[in-house]
Amino acid sequence: MARPYARRTFLRRTPNKLLDQYFQQRRVEIDAPWADLTETGIEPLDDALDALPHDVLRRVDGEFSQIMQLASAKGVATILEEAASRGQDGSEQFAGMSNDYERAMWTFLNEPARFIAAGAFHEMDRRTFSWHRFVGLRLEAAMDEDALDVFGASLAAHYRRQGRGRHCHVDVYRRVGPDRYCYFAYPEDAASTDLGYDEQGRFQRRPRQSAFEVIFVYRPEEGTTELYARGNKRQKEELAEIFCVNALGLTGLPDENGREPFNLAVLKDPTFTFPTDPRDGVQSVDVRLLRLDLPFNRSKGTNRRVLLEAKPTAEAPRALHGLIEEVVNPLNIRMDDVQIGRAKLCFTFRPADNQRPKTLTFEVGYPDRCTLKDDQHDQTARKYLHEWGIASHQDAPVLAVAV
């Protein structure tokens, strides 16, 4: 969820010198007593903002809201990540700043291209990607302007069949650790009308022509891609095909070849220890939920499923598998005949700097669903899904399409 914008909070946390620089850079004439303002006594500045013309104030509040989204530890981390992808290091300069609001505002004013890319990464990290199955290859991703223009035109043609998509702009950025190419497409949405007031306070209808966002991510090390988009399965597969053709140079969607992104069979084993590298800071991994898909039995009905959920304790570290023994064994069903259809896993990471341990809880569903996102801890979990054999191995990469 995006952080709610609070103008007074933003003004109090952002140094006055950068606020003054912002208004000068944007050529906004504001009647603010800069010489008398303290860093927290921002009421006169807030009043001066309220006196601005409505369209100017709307633009200022909109940009302040964008800056506030990156004024956090995670937001600053994405700014530094974007700098690192260009072989630059801004950590030393940021270390001398007072807080994350100053770091985000400084980047907005002095490194606008970096700010835009970091904002896109930050938005991407909030999205949940679920995967469909397509077998793919390690390919060279297209990043030149001509290819992006053709890609955007193909996406626009796709959405025009829905009565929108007259225009479509595409940006691409490379992220590292692991390597991935991130395509952000902005098709034009259908026209709409807002109810509101003009600068004279008159109530009226105003036309609006906005864009919506579609995100494609290609991971060359795994041979996988992910897609964040709205629509039904057919529409998402059409988008995946457009991406494969225009960004990866394929002739269409790769063949599935019967492979599936996820196989949860390893979770049947109550002795499986979830081995991890100490350098990744994983303290423990627990299975919190399992959906057991029982074998077909015409006399007992179809689609028989048992959903089990339990939280382990020190006395019962394998609580969920104990529950399996209580529920499944009396049914006289062999576990070899049971398929794990869905699982919820919880990673606990060792605390740093005397903070509370960080936990990451996500779900994996057979054959092609996963709720992992894209930030640092999610990347660690992705790595171990491959190492444990839950996700397809890299020697047989999968092209995945996400929703």
**Is the predicted pLDDT of residue 89 greater than 80, yes or no?**
no
Range scoring the smallest mean pLDDT among 25-39, 141-155, 224-238, 275-289: 224-238
Residues 208 and 283 reside in one and the same domain: no
Domain residues for 58?
Answer: 7-125
Domain boundary (107, 125, 143) is at 125
Q: What is the mean pLDDT of the chain?
A: 86
pLDDT level of residue 400 (50, 70, 90 thresholds)? very low
Closest CA to 164 of 156, 153, 172: 156
Residues 149 and 116 reside in one and the same domain: no
pLDDT digit string, tens, across residues 274-295: 999 999 999 999 999 999 998 8
Range scoring the smallest mean pLDDT among 86-100, 106-120, 227-241, 382-396: 382-396
What DSSP character marks residue 302? S
Residues 59 and 144 reside in one and the same domain: no
Q: What share of the chain is helix, strand, coil (3-state, %, to 5)?
A: 40, 20, 40
Distance, C-alpha 156 to centroid of its chain: 23
Residues 347 and 240 reside in one and the same domain: no
**256 or 173, higher pLDDT:** 173
pLDDT digit string, tens, across residues 336-346: 888 999 999 99
pLDDT level of residue 260 (50, 70, 90 thresholds)? low
Q: Which segments of 86-212 does DSSP mark as H helices, in order?
A: 91-95, 100-110, 112-125, 145-160
Residues 76 and 159 reside in one and the same domain: no
Residues 96 and 154 reside in one and the same domain: no
Residues 65 and 101 reside in one and the same domain: yes
pLDDT of residue 233: 82
Residues 195 and 99 reside in one and the same domain: no
Residues 81 and 151 reside in one and the same domain: no
Q: What's the pTM?
A: 0.75
Q: Exposed, middle or buried: residue 376 (CB in 10 Å: 0-12, 13-18, 19+)? A: middle
Range scoring the smallest mean pLDDT among 82-91, 266-275, 364-373: 82-91
pLDDT of residue 133: 43
Domain boundary (212, 247, 282) is at 247
**Is the predicted pLDDT of residue 12 greater than 90, yes or no?**
yes
- 398 lies in a domain? no
- 1 lies in a domain? no
Residues 140 and 174 reside in one and the same domain: yes
- 403 lies in a domain? no
Residue type, 50: D
Residues 116 and 143 reside in one and the same domain: no
- 168 lies in a domain? yes
**Is the predicted pLDDT of residue 402 greater than 80, yes or no?**
no
**54 or 368, higher pLDDT:** 54
The single residue listed with the structure tokens 């382990």 is 312
Report the domain count for the chain.
Answer: 3
- 375 lies in a domain? no
- Cα distance between residue 356 and residue 283, in whole Å: 12
pLDDT level of residue 221 (50, 70, 90 thresholds)? confident
Mean pLDDT on 387-393: 82
State what percent of residues in the chain have pLDDT above 70: 92
pLDDT of residue 137: 61
pLDDT of residue 397: 41
Residues 105 and 181 reside in one and the same domain: no
- 379 lies in a domain? no
